[in-house]
Amino acid sequence: VAAQDVVLPPVKSLLDKEEQSRLEAEHKANTPRAAAASPGAASGYLSVDVNSPTSATGGGIGSSSPHVGGGVGSSHDVSSPLVAAASSTTAAFSPLSAGSNINAEEKKEEDDADADADGIRTADEIMQDYSVRREIATKVLGAKMLQGYTLKETQCLKCGMPLMEYNNQLDCVVCPVLVKKAKKKLKKQLQQQQQQLQSKESDEAAAVQEERLRIEREEAAAEADRKQQQEEEEAYAARMLAIEQRARREAEEEAERIQVAARKAEELRLAEERAAKEAKRKLEEEQRLKRERELQEQREMEEAMRLEEERIAEEARLAEEAREAHEQRLLEEAMRLEQERIADLERRTQLEEVKRVEEEIRLKEEAAEIERLAQEERDAAAKEAEEAAAAAAKEAE
């Protein structure tokens, strides 16, 4: 869409003749296609059938008939690549979803153009992006409806969007926005080309200046003759330019990849040589260390064997001393236990004697206590008998 009404400079293709012939055949094959409006809009929505073979004004895709009413897009001729990009697509435009601020839409277009500066899409890709054109048309048509415009079923032969009526005059309100975006895009491309031209050698300065002037003249001619049928040639030129740029870029990238691969291969070879030298040095160092370790291990083994023999002799001596000491301790312990047994036996004998004496004393005390209690009982019985006798005598009296 951004490439509409833009005259790009002719390019010198890097492709062969067969590729150019194929592109020209595809370019010509897209020419007979057209877009027309389909009736049956309901609830404020307009369905646009871009596959219709004829337009609403009676002019075919290849015709040069102007729009009815002669508005902004009234004399635009049909450009088949733009219509073909929207083929097999049915779009619905709602006046309720449109924005009412045109300045916001213009600012959005500028932001979109700036956002595409780093990765510029080809003209063929832009024309095929029908959703962008539909989004722009939806907002612009909605904003115009709020300003009193009336949406019609007639399609613009240039952009394929519905025309609008204002003061009994049909006009396309989408084409100016698309053209403005294309001009901004072209202006940015011109600025980029100018920056590239300034960086070339002094012997190319005249050619660069002439090229820039030629591009500016073509831009002015495109603005003056934007209503003429140029979109097909422009799309073809843009596509060829994109193909050439892509081929040149791929060739440069391939050369750069080859250089990088060669540089990496050289670095890898040097790294392998360094690694081989380092591995050889490490191997020699490891062999030297291995010999030293073997000698050290042999000395350590001899020292360990000597120490082991000394340890075994020392352990045998200590074991003999320990055995003798253990036997001496066992003998002393046996004597101590025998003495303790004898002393314990004497203590038990003494305790038994003491217990026997204490038992005899206890038995004697118990017998004396029993005798005392029996005497007390006898005394009590005698006393009771005396009292009974006295009582009986008293009763007898």
Render pLDDT for 357-369 as a digit per residue (tens, 0 to 9): 999 898 989 988 9
pLDDT of residue 194: 80
How does DSSP classify residue 173? Answer: S
The whole-model pTM stands at 0.24
Handedness of CA 239, 242, 243, 244 (dihedral sign): positive
Interval 327-339 mean pLDDT: 91
Structure tokens belonging to residue 87:
């083929």
Average pLDDT, the chain: 72
Handedness of CA 98, 100, 106, 110 (dihedral sign): negative
Examine the pLDDT at 68 and tell me if it is beyond 50.
no
Interval 373-395 mean pLDDT: 88
Structure tokens belonging to residue 160:
């394929």
pLDDT of residue 308: 92
Who's near 35: CB < 8 A, 6+ residues apart? Answer: 48, 49, 50, 51, 52, 55, 61, 83, 86, 155, 157, 160
pLDDT of residue 101: 43
CA gyration radius for the chain? Answer: 62
Sheet architecture: strand order including 162-165: 150-155, 162-165, 170-171
CA angle in degrees (0–180, nearest 5) for 324-327-332? 125
Share of the chain above pLDDT 70, in %: 67
Q: Do 158 and 78 form a contact (C-beta atoms < 8 A)?
A: yes
How far apart, in whole angstroms, are the C-alpha atoms of residue 55 and residue 34?
Answer: 7
Binned at pLDDT 50, 70 and 90, residue 225 comes out as confident
Q: For residue 243, what are the CA distances in angstroms to 12, 16, 394? A: 10, 12, 168
Examine the pLDDT at 97 and tell me if it is beyond 50.
no
Model confidence pLDDT, tens digit, residues 176-214: 888 888 888 898 888 888 877 777 766 676 777 788 888
pLDDT of residue 113: 52
Q: Where are the beta strands (DSSP E) in the chain?
A: 36-37, 46-49, 90-93, 150-155, 162-165, 170-171
Examine the pLDDT at 4 and tell me if it is beyond 60.
no
pLDDT of residue 17: 56
How far apart, in whole angstroms, are the C-alpha atoms of residue 194 and residue 324?
Answer: 113
Q: Is residue 171 helix, strand or coil? A: strand
pLDDT of residue 28: 65
Q: Do 32 and 110 form a contact (C-beta atoms < 8 A)?
A: no
Binned at pLDDT 50, 70 and 90, residue 236 comes out as confident
